[in-house]
Amino acid sequence: MLFYNGDYKLVIKAEKGATFCGFLDVGSIGISKPEQWFDLRTWINEGCREFQEEDNSDLGNVYIIKLPKDKLKVLAETKRIFALNISTGTLYKKVNKLPYAIMKDVYESKADTYIEQTSFPECYEFRSN
Protein backbone atom coordinates (compact mmCIF):
# COMPACT_ATOMS: atom_id res chain seq x y z
CA MET A 1 0.00 0.00 0.00
CA LEU A 2 1.35 3.47 -0.89
CA PHE A 3 0.53 6.93 0.43
CA TYR A 4 1.80 10.08 -1.28
CA ASN A 5 4.16 12.34 0.69
CA GLY A 6 5.80 14.93 -1.60
CA ASP A 7 8.69 13.29 -3.44
CA TYR A 8 8.33 10.20 -1.26
CA LYS A 9 5.77 7.46 -0.87
CA LEU A 10 4.91 5.81 2.41
CA VAL A 11 5.20 2.11 1.72
CA ILE A 12 3.30 -0.16 4.10
CA LYS A 13 4.43 -3.76 4.46
CA ALA A 14 2.14 -6.06 6.39
CA GLU A 15 3.65 -9.11 8.05
CA LYS A 16 2.05 -11.59 10.39
CA GLY A 17 1.86 -10.01 13.83
CA ALA A 18 3.28 -6.62 12.85
CA THR A 19 2.82 -3.82 10.35
CA PHE A 20 5.86 -1.97 9.08
CA CYS A 21 6.23 1.07 6.88
CA GLY A 22 9.01 3.14 5.41
CA PHE A 23 9.50 6.08 3.08
CA LEU A 24 10.70 5.51 -0.45
CA ASP A 25 11.72 8.05 -3.06
CA VAL A 26 9.21 8.12 -5.92
CA GLY A 27 11.98 7.31 -8.41
CA SER A 28 12.93 4.20 -6.45
CA ILE A 29 9.55 2.48 -6.44
CA GLY A 30 9.86 -1.00 -7.86
CA ILE A 31 13.66 -1.03 -7.79
CA SER A 32 14.59 -0.67 -4.14
CA LYS A 33 13.23 -0.88 -0.59
CA PRO A 34 13.11 1.77 2.13
CA GLU A 35 16.39 2.18 3.98
CA GLN A 36 14.56 1.99 7.29
CA TRP A 37 11.35 0.19 8.22
CA PHE A 38 9.40 1.34 11.29
CA ASP A 39 6.21 0.33 13.07
CA LEU A 40 3.12 1.89 11.47
CA ARG A 41 1.13 2.06 14.71
CA THR A 42 3.95 3.83 16.54
CA TRP A 43 4.35 6.28 13.66
CA ILE A 44 0.63 7.12 13.74
CA ASN A 45 0.61 7.47 17.55
CA GLU A 46 3.58 9.87 17.32
CA GLY A 47 1.66 12.17 14.99
CA CYS A 48 2.71 10.90 11.55
CA ARG A 49 5.95 12.85 11.46
CA GLU A 50 7.08 13.54 7.92
CA PHE A 51 10.19 11.93 6.53
CA GLN A 52 13.31 14.09 6.73
CA GLU A 53 16.52 13.50 4.80
CA GLU A 54 19.47 12.76 7.04
CA ASP A 55 21.38 15.86 8.11
CA ASN A 56 24.49 14.64 6.29
CA SER A 57 22.68 14.59 2.93
CA ASP A 58 23.91 17.33 0.65
CA LEU A 59 21.76 19.28 -1.75
CA GLY A 60 23.11 19.78 -5.22
CA ASN A 61 22.40 19.63 -8.92
CA VAL A 62 22.42 16.78 -11.43
CA TYR A 63 24.19 17.55 -14.69
CA ILE A 64 24.43 15.88 -18.05
CA ILE A 65 28.17 16.05 -18.61
CA LYS A 66 28.50 14.09 -21.87
CA LEU A 67 26.35 12.25 -24.38
CA PRO A 68 26.90 9.03 -26.32
CA LYS A 69 26.29 8.78 -30.07
CA ASP A 70 22.62 7.81 -29.63
CA LYS A 71 21.80 11.24 -28.23
CA LEU A 72 18.02 11.26 -28.81
CA LYS A 73 17.47 7.87 -27.17
CA VAL A 74 19.46 8.92 -24.11
CA LEU A 75 17.61 12.23 -23.84
CA ALA A 76 14.23 10.50 -24.06
CA GLU A 77 15.38 8.13 -21.29
CA THR A 78 16.66 11.12 -19.27
CA LYS A 79 13.32 12.86 -19.58
CA ARG A 80 11.46 9.75 -18.41
CA ILE A 81 13.74 8.74 -15.51
CA PHE A 82 14.28 12.24 -14.12
CA ALA A 83 10.59 13.16 -14.73
CA LEU A 84 11.59 16.31 -16.60
CA ASN A 85 8.81 18.68 -17.61
CA ILE A 86 10.46 19.63 -20.91
CA SER A 87 10.07 18.34 -24.44
CA THR A 88 12.77 16.05 -25.78
CA GLY A 89 13.35 18.55 -28.61
CA THR A 90 13.93 21.42 -26.18
CA LEU A 91 16.21 19.23 -24.08
CA TYR A 92 18.12 18.30 -27.27
CA LYS A 93 18.79 22.00 -27.92
CA LYS A 94 19.79 22.73 -24.31
CA VAL A 95 22.44 19.98 -24.13
CA ASN A 96 24.46 21.49 -26.96
CA LYS A 97 26.28 23.35 -24.20
CA LEU A 98 27.49 20.88 -21.56
CA PRO A 99 27.39 20.52 -18.64
CA TYR A 100 23.64 21.11 -18.44
CA ALA A 101 21.74 20.98 -15.13
CA ILE A 102 18.67 18.75 -15.37
CA MET A 103 17.78 18.76 -11.65
CA LYS A 104 18.46 21.47 -9.09
CA ASP A 105 18.44 21.40 -5.28
CA VAL A 106 18.09 17.64 -5.01
CA TYR A 107 19.52 15.38 -2.32
CA GLU A 108 22.51 13.33 -3.37
CA SER A 109 20.81 10.06 -2.43
CA LYS A 110 17.86 10.86 -4.68
CA ALA A 111 20.16 11.93 -7.53
CA ASP A 112 22.15 8.70 -7.22
CA THR A 113 18.95 6.66 -7.41
CA TYR A 114 17.96 8.32 -10.67
CA ILE A 115 21.45 8.15 -12.18
CA GLU A 116 21.74 4.43 -11.40
CA GLN A 117 18.54 3.76 -13.38
CA THR A 118 19.99 5.18 -16.60
CA SER A 119 21.64 3.21 -19.39
CA PHE A 120 24.66 5.55 -19.32
CA PRO A 121 25.32 6.63 -15.71
CA GLU A 122 28.73 7.98 -16.75
CA CYS A 123 26.90 10.74 -18.65
CA TYR A 124 25.52 12.28 -15.44
CA GLU A 125 27.13 13.90 -12.44
CA PHE A 126 25.89 15.14 -9.07
CA ARG A 127 27.55 18.32 -7.82
CA SER A 128 27.00 19.65 -4.30
CA ASN A 129 25.82 23.24 -3.92
SS3 sequence, 9-51? Answer: EEEEEEECCEEEEEEEEHHHCCCCCCCCCEEHHHHHHCCCCCC
User: What residue type is 89 in one-letter code?
Assistant: G
What is the pLDDT confidence band of residue 110, given thresholds at 50, 70 and 90? confident
Give 68 or 32, the one with higher predicted confidence.
Answer: 68
The CA-CA-CA angle for residues 110, 116, 118, to 5°, reads 115
> What percentage of residues in the chain have a pLDDT greater than 70?
84
Domain ranges of the chain: 2-45, 59-128
Strand, coil or helix: 5 = strand
Residue 49 C-alpha from the chain's centroid: 21
Instruction: Indicate the fold that domain 59-128 takes in CATH.
Output: Ribosomal Protein L30; Chain: A, (3.30.1390)
